[in-house]
Amino acid sequence: MVFFRVLDPGVFTTMQDEGRPGHAHLGVPRSGALDQESYRLANRLVGNRSGATALETTMRGPRLLWDAQQFEDVSEPVWVAVTGAPVPVRINGRPAAFAAAVRLLPGEVLEIGTAVAGLRSYVAVSGGFVNKSPLRSGSTDVLSGLGPPALAVGHELPVGPAAPIPSIEFVVPTGVFHQPVLDLIPGPRADWFTPEALMLLARTAWQVSPTSNRVGLRLEGPALERVRFGELPSEGMMTGSVQVPGNGRPVLFLNDHPVTGGYPVIGVVTRASLDRAAQAAPGTTLRFRLRTALR
């Protein structure tokens, strides 16, 4: 089997696919690529099936050697595509296209640079990355520890058999919002807060804390005032829940969130908005827009 060899893992690079839906009752969150639209676009550009494993980079991507020259039966190049947060892409030091399928010959080095906007980029390879798949997913879950570890120097990343590259002349990159606006449905515990707290949530320009990660975005801003102060029994949490701990500052749960929680949830961010939240780097200002139905 042919593979990439990791020369530099980048800041934090993990394997991700569509995740592990349907296992919350076992205490396992969904996980998977945070920016699903960008992840799917990367795979589509290189002809992969839906759900193929790709790399999710954070801030700065890896340097990878296409280590296929040792295999005599490998004569075709591999194709790669990088989407999501815009980054410089280089092959053997030469600039290569972003959001397009580019060819990599045996022995060449793919380098993913530092994001110029947003936070997370996606690297798909024709044939997909092959790894062990607990619960039918190759995703790295930073909270539960399921899936492969983050990339490290010397790791070998096997690649599966490639499908034909589709004839795509041009795609519109998914884009990154400088100050994202996230649609939010109030509840299920909005009644634990004052009416003013919900309005404050929508009026405030929240800043993403440096302590944020794939589990959730910690938001810095004014405290949201509660009207109920008793203990809430732990209940199920869904991706997109905006939970408010004792300090009154909201936390937006992302894909690796715990499946239960005891702090009240003032609202839930829509699925479409979560792709925008995935690209909110520390220091980003974001806002919530109140809606009446999930989209």
Residue 282 in domain: yes
Residue 197 in domain: yes
Please list the residues that pair with 193 across neighbouring strands: 226
Residue 91 in domain: yes
Band of pLDDT at residue 170, cut at 50, 70 and 90: low
Q: Which amino acid is at 168?
A: I
User: Residue 75 pLDDT more than 70?
Assistant: no
pTM: 0.94
Contact 223, 247 (CB under 8 A): yes
As a whole number, mean pLDDT of residues 165-182 equals: 79
Predicted local distance difference test score (pLDDT) of residue 295: 53
Band of pLDDT at residue 69, cut at 50, 70 and 90: low
Predicted local distance difference test score (pLDDT) of residue 289: 96
Contact 37, 274 (CB under 8 A): no
Each residue of 230-252: pLDDT tens digit? 778 999 999 999 999 999 999 99
Q: Same domain, yes or no, for 199 and 233? A: yes
Q: Same domain, yes or no, for 30 and 73? A: yes
Q: Same domain, yes or no, for 211 and 276? A: yes
User: Residue 98 pLDDT more than 90?
Assistant: yes
- Which of 123, 158, 193 corresponds to the end of one domain? 158
User: Comparing 40-44, 114-118, 159-163, 205-209, which segment has the lowest mean pLDDT?
Assistant: 159-163
Q: Same domain, yes or no, for 150 and 216? A: no
CATH number for the domain spanning 250: value is 2.40.100.10
User: Residue 15 pLDDT more than 60?
Assistant: yes
Predicted local distance difference test score (pLDDT) of residue 24: 86
Give the up-direction half-sphere exposure of residue 173: CA atoms within 13 A in the CB hemisphere. 19
Tokens of 238: 């869904």
User: Residue 71 pLDDT more than 80?
Assistant: no
Predicted local distance difference test score (pLDDT) of residue 73: 52
User: Residue 268 pLDDT more than 80?
Assistant: yes
Q: Which amino acid is at 147?
A: G
Which three-class secondary structure string do you get for the chain? Answer: CCEEEEEECCCCCEEECCCCCCCHHHCCCCCCCCCHHHHHHHHHHCCCCCCCEEEEEECECCEEEECCCCCCCCCCCEEEEEEECCCCEEECCEEECCCCCEEECCCCEEEECECCCCCEEEEEECCCECCCCHHHCCCCCCCCCCCCCCCCCCCEEEECCCCCCCCCCCCCCCCCCCCCEEEEEECCCHHHECHHHHHHHHHCCEEECCCCCCCEEEEECCCCCECCCCCCCCEECCCCEEECCCCCCCEEECCCCCCEECCCEEEEECHHHHHHHHCCCCCCEEEEEECCCCC
Residue 208 is part of which domain span?
Answer: 181-290
As a whole number, mean pLDDT of residues 78-97 equals: 96
Residue 175 in domain: no
Q: Same domain, yes or no, for 149 and 214? A: no
Predicted local distance difference test score (pLDDT) of residue 77: 81
Q: Based on the structure, what is the number of domains in the chain?
A: 2
